[in-house]
């Protein structure tokens, strides 16, 4: 059993803290956001993530998990500190390292004993790990050591707890082999492959993994553009490709493209890393461009059917960047809503859990209304656009939807519905290549 401080209790930090506590460790989560800590101390979770509320509650009750805004309190007995703060994109696409550097400085200043510092935040290779190690060394009291271990996180939002307990691998990059082994020991109960490597390789493994998954999505979206022109069905194609084990069936869902707090920023950051080293990656720029283009294509398809979008009512189902989360960072749904409003459409939006997060991000607009349920959102609409892959949109009573709409167009931006069934009910069914 270890005493562990987790710095930053966002999506990654809170999940990591709760899962480490569940594995028997004593964990203190620290965040500079007092509001988050107040919520957590009251037993509330600051965001929506399946299984997490129960896990946090159980471990707080068992006395293994607590929360504070004080680094001193969290670091008092810490054997390890996990840095899980954000690395958002700068305007030039680089990863902003300021939260990580500040967290490292605070960890070092409040350390009263030697400990291992584990960098879970996604950070680019090319000097950043070295800089964090240097910040630690400069701010530690004499006689205290804090070797740095780079241990990138691979969880997905919406299945964060499951992914943490069932990881495909742990990647551990360190200069100090004893520190690397100590972090590897934490993963032993999870029985996953553990890759021990150097910090730069660990960092680049994370970016390469995200860029590869983003590439699969842009690739299938590129194929869907070709498929549409030759009258082929993209779902059949993806299925046929996916049977080939060398290709794999996952991440071949065509549609509005990827969003979220990771793929868009990490592909950009990888391009920026390459450019900093004098290499322009045409390939990564193409992945980003294809992805961005899907949103405009969806709006154009609606325009083709409805003519001028001005004054047309469009029901948008989904605001989150994917199902089972309230996260709207880089959500394709929000870009599409902005495009529709710009073209003069009246938007009626609904999401099972992400309305309040969307309201904080989208500027209020006279033509944008948030609705309490999917049926309210589609009522009186000329068209419906499915923007997020929530399962509940698949199981709506679509004949009820049809009879309550003013028009009959449905743009299925996530390939959720059966084209034949929808057309059979009298919808003008629009999608990417089917
Ligand atoms: N969200 C994901 O699915 C995911 C998955 C894998 C990796 N990552 C990476 O993990 C990192 C964290 O992502 P996230 O989505 O959890 O971010 P987040 O924004 O949800 O959480 C970051 C937290 O850190 C806190 N914070 C910032 N500076 C701090 C400081 N100096 N001291 C204490 N707290 C501080 C913030 O208040 C916030 O609560 C990023 O590098 C991200 O790229 C994210
Ligand atoms: O076939 C697919 C699969 C996904 N998506 C979209 O891609 C985005 C990302 O989805 P997903 O990867 O499931 O969610 P994230 O929570 O962003 O997780 C990714 O980003 C995390 C942060 O780095 C990594 O840890 C995870 O391994 C990686 O999957 C979402 O907008 C999805 O709608 C598609 O368009 N088609």
Count how many Cα atoms sit within 13 Å of the Cα of residue 99 in the half-sphere of its side chain: 22
Tell which residue, 432, 284, 329, 317, has the closest CA to residue 383. 317
Q: Which atom, in ligand 2's list, is nearest to the CA of 389?
A: 33
In this structure, the residue with its CA closest to atom 33 of ligand 2 is: 322
Residue 228 Cα to ligand 1 middle (Å): 39
Say which of 19, 262, 371, 381 is annotated catalytic: 262
pLDDT of 417: 97
pLDDT of 165: 98
Is 84 a pocket residue for ligand 1 (Cβ < 6 Å)? yes
Ligand nearest to C-alpha 103: 1
Is 37 a pocket residue for ligand 1 (Cβ < 6 Å)? no
**Looking at this predicted complex, what is its ipTM?**
0.99
- Surface-to-core class of residue 238, CB atoms within 10 Å of its CB (0-12 exposed, 13-18 middle, 19+ buried): buried
329 is in an annotated binding site: yes
Distances (CA, A) of 421 to 56, 146, 288, 328, 398: 42, 61, 33, 30, 10
Using CA atoms, how far apart are residues 60 and 40, in angstroms rounded to an integer?
A: 10
Tell which residue, 254, 248, 371, has the closest CA to residue 313. 371
Residue 26 Cα to ligand 2 middle (Å): 31
Domain boundaries, the chain: 3-197, 263-430
The two structure tokens encoding residue 114: 């030697």
Mutate to test the pocket of ligand 1, among 31, 72, 85, 207 (most ligand atoms within 8 A of CB): 85
Task: Give me the helices (H) in 10-127, please.
Answer: 11-22, 34-41, 52-61, 71-75, 98-110
Which residues in the chain land under pLDDT 70? none
Considering just the CA atoms, what is the radius of gyration of the chain in Å? 23
Q: Is 19 an annotated catalytic residue?
A: no
What number of other Cβ atoms are within 10 A of residue 65's Cβ?
26
Using CA atoms, how far apart are residues 302 and 408, in angstroms rounded to an integer?
A: 11
Report the helix count and the strand count for the chain, using DSSP H and E.
18, 14
In this structure, the residue with its CA closest to atom 6 of ligand 2 is: 258
DSSP 192: -
Ligand nearest to C-alpha 150: 1
pLDDT of 434: 76
- Surface-to-core class of residue 124, CB atoms within 10 Å of its CB (0-12 exposed, 13-18 middle, 19+ buried): buried
Same-fold call for 3-197 versus 263-430: yes
Contact 117, 148 (CB under 8 A): yes
CATH of domain 263-430: 3.40.50.720
Using CA atoms, how far apart are residues 352 and 244, in angstroms rounded to an integer?
A: 35
Crossing angle of the two packed helices 234-242 and 199-230, in degrees rounded to 10: 140
The two structure tokens encoding residue 139: 């701010």
Please report the sign of the dihedral spanned by the C-alpha atoms of residue 32, residue 33, residue 34, residue 36.
Answer: negative
Ligand nearest to C-alpha 163: 2
Q: What is the pLDDT of residues 14-40, one digit of tens each?
A: 999 999 999 999 999 999 999 999 999
Q: What is the pLDDT of residues 129-162, one digit of tens each?
A: 999 999 999 999 999 999 999 999 999 999 999 9
In this structure, the residue with its CA closest to atom 13 of ligand 1 is: 86
Distance of CA 68 to the CA centre of its chain: 25
Tell which residue, 359, 293, 296, has the closest CA to residue 326. 359
Q: Check: CATH 3.40.50.970 for 3-197?
A: no
Contact 375, 405 (CB under 8 A): no
Using CA atoms, how far apart are residues 423 and 135, in angstroms rounded to an integer?
A: 61
Is 253 a pocket residue for ligand 2 (Cβ < 6 Å)? yes
Residue 341 Cα to ligand 1 middle (Å): 31
In this structure, the residue with its CA closest to atom 33 of ligand 1 is: 31
Angle at 95 between CA 91 and CA 99, to 5 degrees: 105
Residue 332 Cα to ligand 1 middle (Å): 21
Contacts of residue 364, defined as CB under 8 A and 6 or more positions apart, other chains included, come to none
pLDDT of 122: 98
Write the DSSP assignment of 336-348 as a string of letters.
Answer: HHHHHHHTT-EEE
């Amino acid at each position: 059993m270890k005493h562990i401080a987790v710095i930053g209790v966002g999506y990654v930090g809170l999940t990591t803290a709760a899962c480490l506590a569940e594995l028997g460790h004593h964990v203190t989560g620290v965040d500079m956001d007092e509001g988050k800590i107040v919520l957590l101390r009251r037993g509330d979770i600051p965001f929506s993530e399946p299984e997490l509320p129960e896990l946090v509650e159980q471990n707080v009750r068992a006395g293994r998990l607590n929360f504070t805004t004080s680094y001193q309190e969290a670091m008092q007995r810490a054997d390890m500190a996990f840095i899980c703060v954000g690395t958002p994109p700068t305007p030039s696409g680089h990863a902003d390292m300021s939260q990580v550097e500040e967290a490292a400085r605070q960890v070092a200043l409040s350390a009263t004993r030697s400990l291992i510092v584990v960098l879970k935040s996604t950070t680019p290779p090319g000097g950043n790990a070295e800089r964090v190690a240097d910040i630690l060394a400069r701010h530690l009291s004499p006689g205290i050591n804090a070797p740095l271990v780079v241990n990138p996180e691979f969880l997905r939002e919406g299945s964060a707890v499951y992914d943490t307990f069932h990881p495909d691998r742990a990647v551990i990059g360190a200069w100090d082999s004893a520190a690397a082994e100590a972090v590897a020991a934490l993963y032993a109960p999870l029985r996953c492959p553990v890759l021990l490597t150097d910090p730069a390789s660990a960092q680049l493994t994370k970016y390469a993994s995200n860029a590869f998954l983003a590439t699969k999505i842009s690739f299938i979206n590129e194929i869907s553009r070709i498929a549409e022109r030759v009258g082929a069905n993209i779902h059949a194609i993806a299925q046929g490709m996916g049977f080939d084990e060398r290709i794999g069936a996952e991440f071949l869902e065509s549609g509005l493209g990827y969003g979220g707090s990771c793929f868009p920023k990490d592909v950009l950051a990888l391009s920026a890393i390459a450019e900093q080293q004098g290499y322009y990656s045409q390939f990564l720029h193409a992945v980003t461009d294809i992805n961005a283009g899907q949103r405009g294509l969806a709006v154009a398809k609606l325009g083709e059917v409805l003519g001028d979008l001005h004054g047309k009512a469009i029901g948008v189902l989904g605001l989150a960047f994917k199902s089972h989360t309230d996260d709207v960072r880089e959500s394709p749904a929000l870009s599409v809503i902005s495009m529709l409003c710009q073209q003069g459409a009246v938007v009626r939006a609904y999401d099972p859990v992400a309305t309040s997060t969307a309201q904080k991000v989208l500027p209020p607009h006279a033509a944008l209304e948030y609705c309490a349920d999917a049926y309210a959102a589609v009522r009186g609409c000329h068209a419906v656009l499915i923007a997020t892959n929530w399962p509940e949109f698949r199981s709506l009573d679509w004949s009820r939807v049809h009879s309550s709409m003013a028009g009959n167009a449905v743009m299925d931006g996530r390939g959720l519905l059966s084209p034949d069934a929808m057309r059979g009910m009298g919808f003008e069914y629009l999608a990417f290549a089917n």
